[in-house]
Chains A and B, each alone.
Chain A
Amino acid sequence: MGEMEQLRKEAESLKDQITAARKAVQDSTLQEAAAGITVVGRIQMKTRKTLRGHLAKIYAMHWSTDSKLCVSASQDGKLIVWDSVTTNKVNAIPLKSSWVMTCAYAPSGNLVACGGLDNMCSIYNLKGKDGNVKVMRELAAHTGYLSCCRFISDTEIITSSGDCTCILWDIETGTQKTVFAGHQGDCMSLAVAPDFKCFISGACDFTAKLWDIREGTCRQTFGGHESDVNAIGFFPNGNAVITGSDDATLKLFDLRADQELITYQDSSIMCGVTSLAPSLSGRLLLAGYDDFNVNIWDMLKAERVGKYMWKLYIPLENGRKVDPAEDSEGSCRVAAGTEH
């Protein structure tokens, strides 16, 4: 038996053992735990604001921690920082490369970042002395497109790439601190844990991985999806992970049970999930799909309780959650509040 064949067989055997270990603790389902709970009533979303200004597809947006400001990135080559309450543009930052795929707002509010087909993550200082927003750093090392980036602080940022890796960067020196390798397909998105100790990544190998930021190791791998994992996020308490996939489903994985608790799917939904955001309490899950719809799921009952159809729709929930979808008209809509 060749070495590769031996390694392959060993991997299969280990995977079978992990499957058995997961089954051994599977004594209940989320449906059973939520049996006594009534499904959420129909949720109606109302558009409250429309942020106009971009001239081409908006690929990404990210809220600031103050829930008022947000940054959006468009292939018109601009990064715009918006005041979502007044709809004013606070900054309009021209980009060197217009092929942007992701953007992020630092928790401090001082920096924003973006990147895309240039394979780089560019950091911009919003609070420069002369008032001009300039490129502060260009983080280059990925050999594939930048699919997502998220700040840990003003000095550290994590990026995910089409080269199948994620990288933790030291922004001040512009160098790589840690390379997180292990995914066997393009990394599509990442999310940082509420306590900033771990992060999760979703990839085109159909899995999601939980990484320890300081140790630089992969702690857990979650499979089950039948296609690329495009979107990923933490459940608000940080103990579970939500994924969205091209297989038209979303899944909730619990970190402590190391397995899937429930799948959010409907036979009438046949297109991929592009983005997701849980509500503050975790009761509702907003998910953006390839057909430009947003479905609202009751997370406990796994039932669809609302739908928002628009060319582009970005729902706001206490300003903390984002659910971006592509826009072909170049305008970006933010909606807040519910109308019962």
Chain B
Amino acid sequence: MPVINVDDLTDKDKAVMEVNQLKIEIKLERWLTSKCCEEIKEYIQAGVDEDTLFKGISEEKNPFKEKGGCVIC
């Protein structure tokens, strides 16, 4: 879509645009949802160990840990 001025479009122009868009979308090749769900599940399970929010993180490794006081030896 090149640069168009949306304000110049009439209601009919917009209706034609909508029909043309639907004609494009109808042609889509769709995957079975079973395949998609399996993929999502596998992706999550593969990444879960690295997911800090899920697994947690040790205090030492946490960049946002509260800093301790100073100790003078």
A residues adjacent to B (C-beta < 8 A): 3-4, 7-8, 10-11, 14-15, 17-18, 21-22, 24-30, 32-34, 37, 40, 43, 48-49, 68, 84-85, 143, 163-165, 176-182, 184, 216-221, 235-237, 239-240, 254, 256-259, 261, 279-284, 299-300, 315-318, 334, 336-340
Contacts and interface: CB of A to CB of B under 8 A. Distances in A.
B52 A14 contact: no
B6 A164 contact: yes
A156 B52 CA distance: 32
A256 B43 contact: no
Nearest to A180: B1
Contacts of B72: none
A228 B25 CA distance: 22
Interface residues of B, number: 51
A219 B47 CA distance: 29
Contacts of A179: 1-4, 6
B52 to A, nearest CB: 5
Interface in B1-42: 1-4, 6-7, 9, 11-12, 14-19, 21-26, 28, 30-41
B17 to A, nearest CB: 7
A236 B63 CA distance: 23
A221 B40 contact: no
6 cross-chain pairs, A with B, having the tightest CB-CB distances, nearest first: A281-B47, A28-B34, A33-B37, A14-B22, A281-B51, A48-B64
B47 A178 contact: no
B2 A216 contact: yes
Given A7-B15, A14-B23, A318 B52 contact: yes
B57 A337 contact: yes
B56 A283 contact: no
A27 B33 contact: yes
Nearest to B61: A337
A37 B46 CA distance: 14
Contacts, number: 197
A280 B37 contact: no
A258 B28 contact: yes
Contacts of B28: 21, 219-220, 258
B15 A21 contact: no
20 contacts: A7-B19, A14-B19, A21-B30, A27-B33, A27-B34, A30-B37, A30-B40, A33-B38, A48-B62, A143-B6, A176-B3, A177-B3, A178-B1, A184-B18, A217-B24, A220-B25, A280-B47, A280-B50, A282-B43, A284-B53
Contacts of A239: 36, 39-40
Contacts of A21: 26, 28, 30
A283 B21 contact: no
B17 A283 contact: no
A282 to B, nearest CB: 5
A334 B64 CA distance: 10
Contacts of A282: 40, 43-44, 47
Contacts of A25: 30-33
A47 to B, nearest CB: 10
Contacts of B56: 337-340
B40 A240 contact: yes
Given A17-B26, A26-B33, A181 B4 contact: yes
B51 A261 contact: no
A256 B36 contact: yes
Contacts of B14: 184
Nearest to A21: B30
Contacts of A27: 32-34
A218 B23 CA distance: 12
B37 A32 contact: yes
Nearest to A258: B30
Contacts of B2: 178-179, 216
A188 B17 CA distance: 21
A142 to B, nearest CB: 10
